[in-house]
Structure 1
Amino acid sequence: MEITRFISENEIIDIVTKLVSIESHKNVDQKESEVAACISNIFKNNDIYVECAEIEKNRPNVTGKIFGKNESVHLMFNGHIDTVPGFTMKYKPFVPFIRDGIIYGRGTADMKGGLTAMIAAMIAIKRQGLDLEKTVAFTGVIDEEERSKGTEYLIKKNIVSDYVVIGEPTNLRVCTAHKGMEWIEVTFRGEATHGSRPKEGKNAIYMASEFCRMIYSELELIIEKRKHELLGCGSINVGRIEGGDDPNIVPDTCSVQIDRRWLPGETLEFIHNEIESYAAKAAEKFKGQYELKAMREFTASMINAPYSIDPNHELVKKALNITSDVTGQNLPAKDFPAWSDAGLLSNHTNAKCIILGPGSITQAHANDEFCSIDEILKASEIYYKLIKILCL
């Protein structure tokens, strides 16, 4: 690989090992601050411009840049520096180890393997001493595992670019679309009375049950008929229901929480109105009332929207060519099965985004999370070649 002329495999492995060994999740006091400091020091030690912006206490974004003759950012590598906690992993989550060419530990796949490849590509370009025509940037962002405050900060501060590569784990496949994610809570309100006289009350649990029945038997079927070329159909899931106080009281409230995955081409207003129509029917049947709200306290405030890019766009075509050359596999673009910050950047800026990184999405958050060292090295080469072809 060409990149190893400027940064060795051992250096790349050392970077991912350091990053994985630093806890950077919601349950530690330092949050993302220590991993941001580590990345900042790596850039400083390689004479790459770097700055950190603290968004909340101990929660800084870290940005590195190699300036071209045009100082506006043309290509941005974006990755989140937070992980989920270790939970009940099969081994010590923040003591990474390598076995048979695979590195194990929390964040190896999601997404410190991808961060490492981005950093390595930046270092290789800097060490090569190339005079870039266009500026390339790395943005390590906080909070993607919760509300994406890091990428929202980039958007609000106009820290944007023409092209963005999101380094989520895709097994080095170029991904060009993903679904949106909307969490919705519907609360039904009835009238409480003694459980021995249920006809004198209005049972909110019955309303919620009727609503759930219609979601399952009617709305699910309608959603499944709508298709996207790469993503297939959207989905709806009733994930939580809560209501009532005691068995001898007719419940006057019951809440249903829903996860709705939506397609490019659908709108937020449309999916809310569709769900509300069923809530209205359920409430009316039992002469009750309902309230519907988006659960914004748990999702990105700028909306977890779907994302897609024209498959014929220059960024897609060049990424496919480079990936094919590096991996030896000529594979088409595909969908990304989860949500990513591409949903924010592509909908709130003029940036064109792809998702492309080492590791498997099935290993994200897994109890045996791991990533192939070979994929991290190849991702480094892919990113390095993208900079050369897009910024020289």
Structure 2
Amino acid sequence: MTNQINTKLKETLEKNREEYIGYLKDLIAIDTRDLGHGIDGGLEKEGQEYLIKLFEKLGADVKVDPMKEEVIQQFYKDHGEGNLGHNYDDRFNVYASFKADPSKKSLMFNGHIDVMPPGDETLWDNPPFEPIIKDGILYGRGTADMKGGLMAAIMAVKLLKDAEIDLPGEVIITSVCDEEGGGNGSMQAIASGQRADGVVVCEGTDQELILAHMGFVFFRVEFSGIACHSGMKTKGVNAIEKAIKAINALNELEHKWLLKYKHPLLPPPNLNIGVIKGGTAGSTVPDECYFETCVHYLPNLMSKKQIEEEFMDTINRVAKSDPFLEKNPPKVTIYQAGNGFEMDLDHGLVNSFKNSFKLAMDKEVKAVGSPAGCDSRLWRSIAKMPTIQFGPGSLKMAHAINECVPVEEYLNAILIYANLILDYCK
């Protein structure tokens, strides 16, 4: 019977493929970018309004949840997660509920409507918000990150309706904003009480099943010095050289982590110096310098608190070893952070997804980890819900020029999600 249903779904998908592709193209054509990683606001409003109309057309109960700074502040206070001080003018989450038998399991699909700014649009082969298909690949900002996954979840419900197959249990779709700003939209969704028996975070996964991702902490470290002419260097204090001392010590800390921590699905913990700025001219001893770094750490084996403590201990040891820094200690700021994510490999939701993927694709899915963090951590670690991550698109396309997703990958995700709803919710 399962194979018969899958065959019916495939036939219905093929019959309606252009319609399902059209909905994704419509959403990509709407500019929903974050501004300054959400700090300066975001343009999600028009995209969310488009989805509200689509959800209502499909018969969902729809809830609009305006973003509120006080909610994120309380979330940060309660859970140590939250990116404060963002502009929330005209920014809101949308939750759609497709009701069914309350005695059956419920399943949530989580996706973010916001996208990263496209950057220099002259570098794109085609305007980023004018979706176009070339050689079976759909191009446009948000195709992979992650309007493809969000729309695939919506179309999975539509596919079941078009195939005249009843939902066995409730399906919830949470379209959130400000994910690119650190995940505040999903934090607000959790705070508002959005819950299900299982969650699928629809980020692009290269057709693999992600069951773990690394935690992350962003640090800025600022150094002062004494400026003077470079010909009189001994009269000044070089802030860049002080920063290099700290960077060398942090590289030693990273090496210690590499030797100590291993994970079956994830790469080793790492520390990347991504920005360094200081000085005004080669002939001037710089009196200011700062660097920014992102630390990626392993879930369960390491913690955010541990990373913060070991990072600060390293900076403090460098400062105490230097007479100038001891009197003028570096200033350390954490400006973004998120916990890691890990899901039990043999959980019922995981096994249900594997069954659904095999039924739809006639092959086994590969379970992997991801070095990049996303909202999976929030639904699993804070909302305490079984969570998996799967969606059309590739991580390497996220934030990239000429972002794209293969059309067949998007359509396959619709079929896989539809099978998962039937298998898990029953």
Structure 2 residue matching 1:254: 3-state secondary structure = strand
SS in 2 for 1:53: strand
Instruction: State the partner residue of 2:192.
Output: 157
Which of 395, 417, 426 is the aligned partner of 1:361? 395
User: Which amino acid in 2 is paired with 1:219?
Assistant: L
- Rate the CA distance shift 1:171–1:241 in 2: closer, same or farther, 3 A: closer
Does residue 272 of the first structure (1) align with residue 308 of the second (2)? yes
Unmatched 5+ stretches in structure 2: 1-6, 68-87
Aligned pair partner of 1:175 in 210, 214, 217: 210
Amino acid at match of 2:99: F
Asked if 1:106 is matched to 2:141, the reply is yes
8 Å contact kept, 1:179–1:263:
yes
Change in CA separation of 1:46 and 1:5 when aligned onto 2, cut-off 3 Å: farther
CA offset at residue 122 of structure 1?
Answer: 1.8
SS of the aligned residue for 2:360 comes to: helix
User: Residue 254 of structure 2 contacts residue 269 of structure 2 at CA under 8 Å; is this kept in 1?
Assistant: no
Q: Take 2:420 and 2:363, find their aligned partners in 1: how far apart are those partners?
A: 17
Look up the equivalent residue of 2:9 and give its one-letter code.
Answer: I
Q: How many residues align?
A: 386
Equivalent residue, structure 2, for 1:215:
250
Shift in Å, 1:107:
1.1
Report the AA paired with residue 269 of structure 1.
K
Q: Distance in 1 between matches of 2:180 and 2:236?
A: 43
> Structure 2 vs 1, CA of residues 66 and 250 (structure 1 numbering), >3 Å: closer, same or farther?
same
Distance 2:90 2:28 in 1: 18
AA aligned opposite 2:64: C
SS class of match (2:100): coil
Segment drifting more, 362-371 vs 310-319: 362-371
Kindly report structure 1 stretches of 4+ aligned residues shifted beyond 6 Å: none
**Per the alignment, in what secondary structure is the counterpart of residue 310 of structure 2?**
helix
Matching residue within 290, 296, 300 for 2:329: 290
Instruction: Name the amino acid aligned to 2:90.
Output: N
Separation in 1 of the partners of 2:317 and 2:41? 47
Provide the secondary structure at the position in 2 that maps to 1:229.
Answer: coil
1:237-316 alignment, distance < 5 Å: 237-244=272-279, 250-264=285-299, 265-287=301-323, 288=325, 289-296=328-335, 299=336, 303-316=337-350
For residue 18 of structure 2, the aligned residue among 10, 22, 25 is: 10
Q: Which moved more, 1:279-288 or 1:152-161?
A: 279-288
What's the C-alpha RMSD, in Å, of the aligned pairs? 2.5
1:61 and 2:112 matched: no
The answer to whether the Cα contact below 8 Å between 1:184 and 1:292 also exists between their aligned partners in 2 is no
1:117 is matched with which residue?
152
Distance 2:110 2:93 in 1: 11
CA spacing shift, 1:278–1:104, aligned 2, 3 Å: same
Q: Distance in 1 between matches of 2:51 and 2:11?
A: 22
1:333, distance to aligned residue in structure 2 (A)? 0.7
Q: Per-residue deviation at 1:219?
A: 2.2
Q: Gapped runs of 5+ residues in structure 1? A: none
% identical equivalent positions: 31
1:79 is matched with which residue? 111
Indicate how the Cα distance of structure 1 residues 260 and 129 shifts in structure 2: closer, same or farther if over 3 A, else same.
Answer: same
1:331 aligns to 2:365 (yes or no): yes
Q: TM-score, normalised by structure 1?
A: 0.90
8 Å CA contact 1:96–1:104 kept in 2: the answer is yes
**Pairwise CA distance, 1:196:** 5.7
Query: What is the CA-CA distance between 1:67 and the residue it aligns to?
Result: 1.4
Moved more, 219-228 or 243-252: 243-252
| Kept after mapping to 2: 8 A contact 1:50/1:62 | yes
Q: Does 1:319 align with 2:353?
A: yes
Structure 2 residue corresponding to 1:47, chosen from 53, 59, 79 = 59
Once residues 384 and 212 of structure 1 are traced to their aligned partners in structure 2, the CA distance between those partners, rounded to angstroms, is 49
The alignment's TM-score, normalised by the length of structure 2, stands at 0.83
Alpha-carbon offset, residue 206 of structure 1: 2.2
- In the TM superposition, what is the alpha-carbon distance from 1:314 to its structure 2 partner? 0.8
